[in-house]
Structure formats: C-alpha cells, structure tokens
Chains A and B, each alone.
Chain A
Amino acid sequence: MLKRISAIFQAKANRALDNLEDPREMLDLSYEKQVNMLRDVKRGIVEVTAARRRLELQAEELRSQLPKFDAQAMQALKVGREDLARVALERKSATQAQVDGFDAQVAQLKTEQDQLIVAEQRLQAKVDAFRTKKEVMKAQYTAAKATVRVGEAVTGLSEEMTDMGYAIQRAEDKTAQLKSRGSAIHELIESGVLDDSLDGSTPLDRELEALGRAANIDADLKRLRAQIITVEKPAQLEAPKEGGA
C-alpha cells in the first residue's frame, strides 16, 4: 500500500520536473508555482472555515428545535394520552442523540481546521525558506551535481504542497458530509414535530397533530372566554348561575 501511494506522489512530483533543461530555471519556476499554490491553500482554508461556521449555526438551530417535542408531549399528557406523550419523547430522545453526534463532529472538524491553519503557517515558512535555499543553490550551481539536488529540493516542496492540498480536500469533504447530515437531522425534526402539515404522516402523527389542534382550540376558547369576562364581567359571572338555578 505504501508503495502505491508513493508512486502516486512521485508521479506528481515528476510531472513538475519534466520539460526543464536548466535546474536553475526549475528552482525559480517551482518556487513561483508553490507561491501560487500557497495562495490557493489560504483561500481553501478560508472557505472550509466559513463552511464550518455555518455548520455551527446549523447545530445551534437544530438544538433550538428540540423543545418542540416537549411541547407535543405536554399536550398529549394534558389530555391523558401518555402513549402519545411517550412517542413524542422517544422522538425527542432519538433526535437529541443525532444532534449531539452532529455537535461532536462539528467540534472535531473545528479541531482539524485549526490544525490546518497551523500547517498553513508552517508551509508559508517552508516556502520562504525555499526562496533562500534556491538562491544559495543557484549561486553554488555546477551542472552535474546540481540536477540531483535541485530535483530533490523541488520534489520535497512539491510533496509538501500536495499533502496540504490533500488535507484541505479532506476538510472540504468532511464539511460537505456534515452539511448533508445536518439537513437530514433537520428533516427528521420536521417530520417528527408536526406544526402545519399532515402530508405523508402516519396515524400516530395524525393523532399528535389532532391533539395539537385540539390544544390550540382549547387555548383559543380560553382566551376568548377571558376576553368576555374582562369586557362583561358582572353579567357573565351571573349568567351560568341563573341558567343553573
């Protein structure tokens, strides 16, 4: 396995070395190329960091949805439907586990991205060191010996940059995977907590939904009664007693 991976890296480095007759020219071109790549690296890190921040916001938003399940369970208990309350709480528990897992993965991603920032600074130092080194090598240039040493130095730096590119690509992939995961949890919450829609819901969902509607109607009735009491307090308080008597 190590040999196969090495072959992949070496093929890349060799492509960088092809088509160049003069090692001095190779040093300059390689340096320019790495400076450009370093710019891409910095941009890549800015992008994955921004994407990760969005994931953190998404995690917060998902967590803020969890109390909806409690409200649903409460409604069910109020009308003596412990079975439905249990269903709502089971959904809450399952969703909570998903949200916790998501949080942990986003936190892990942050750690990895912080490491990338450190690596990028190290790479910047390395590219700077290469600039000095290439001038020394050019000054000491003797054709026969130089080719091998230049080749090694160029390969070494190119390898470093390739590995950095790989690390950033992995960070991008992980970020994208987490984004899908966040969306999936969001859908889970949407389908578990029934606010407005009845589309595609199961009978239990419908019962919970009906309870929710009943609770809303009860709340409305209570509110309206309270208004009537406020407006026509004496008459309304007397009325039921008169009717009953």
Chain B
Amino acid sequence: MIVRLMGQQGQWRLDDALQAELNAIDAQLDADASAGDGGEFAAHLAAMHELIRTKGSLVGEDEFLPSDAFVPPLDISLDELRTLLSSDGLIPG
C-alpha cells in the first residue's frame, strides 16, 4: 500500500497489514472533524503521520506510483480541511 503524506512529505510504502490501524485512526479523524474538535483532530493526525513514518519506508525518487491514500498535512486546520474536501477545484494542478 502506498500512502502520500501531503504537503511534500513524500510517498510511503506500507505493509497492507497496517490498513486496519490506519482505518481506525481515519475513523477517529472523521469523528473529530464532525465534532469540530480541532485539538483531538490534530492529535489523531499526528498519530497517523507517526505511524506511517515509523512503520513505512519512503518511496524512491525514481519510482512513479499512484497512491492508495492521501493524508492531509500535519498542521492542517479544520477549516482548511473543509475547503480541501469541499471541491477538487481548490487543489491546483
């Protein structure tokens, strides 16, 4: 499984066995975002980044692979997240 840490933090190769763990944190992130709890959201997002960085390996620069999942940047605010999710027109490129 290939996961991209957005904001130019690279693409990471992860063992598929980690999928359940990632999904669990993802569910928490969804709940935090719905509840509007910025503090909890930031904590869970940091946990997700940490998991990916410690358990994954960085994809090489000469490899060109599509990612299976995209993780928002560590310092994203809930407002920014809403903008990111509201329209694909907001990401340039």
Interface positions of A (Cβ within 8 A of B): 1-6, 8-13, 37, 115-116, 119, 122, 125-126, 129-130, 133, 152-170
* Chain B positions 3-49 with a Cβ under 8 Å from a chain A Cβ: 4, 6-8, 11, 22, 26, 29-30, 33
Q: Which of B30, B71, B92, B93 contacts A158 (CB 8 A)?
A: B93
Whether the pair A115, B67 counts as a contact (CB closer than 8 A) is no
Whether the pair A2, B26 counts as a contact (CB closer than 8 A) is yes
Whether the pair B64, A130 counts as a contact (CB closer than 8 A) is yes
Bound complex: CA of A170 vs CA of B74, how far in Å?
12
Bound complex: CA of A166 vs CA of B73, how far in Å?
10
Whether the pair B64, A165 counts as a contact (CB closer than 8 A) is no
Bound complex: CA of A236 vs CA of B91, how far in Å?
79
In the complex, residue of chain A having the shortest beta-carbon distance to the beta carbon of B45: A1
7 smallest beta-carbon distances between A and B, as pairs: A156-B64, A165-B92, A162-B93, A119-B8, A153-B64, A155-B66, A165-B93
Chain B: number of interface residues, binned into ranges:
20 to 34
Q: Which of A3, A37, A164 contacts B8 (CB 8 A)?
A: A164
CB neighbours of B65 from chain A (8 A): 152-153, 156
Bound complex: CA of A119 vs CA of B5, how far in Å?
13
CB neighbours of A170 from chain B (8 A): 7, 73, 80
In the complex, residue of chain A having the shortest beta-carbon distance to the beta carbon of B91: A166
CB neighbours of B64 from chain A (8 A): 126, 130, 133, 152-157
Bound complex: CA of A154 vs CA of B90, how far in Å?
21
CB neighbours of A168 from chain B (8 A): 92
* Chain B positions 43-93 with a Cβ under 8 Å from a chain A Cβ: 61-73, 80-81, 84-85, 88, 90-93
Whether the pair B66, A8 counts as a contact (CB closer than 8 A) is no
CB neighbours of B30 from chain A (8 A): 1
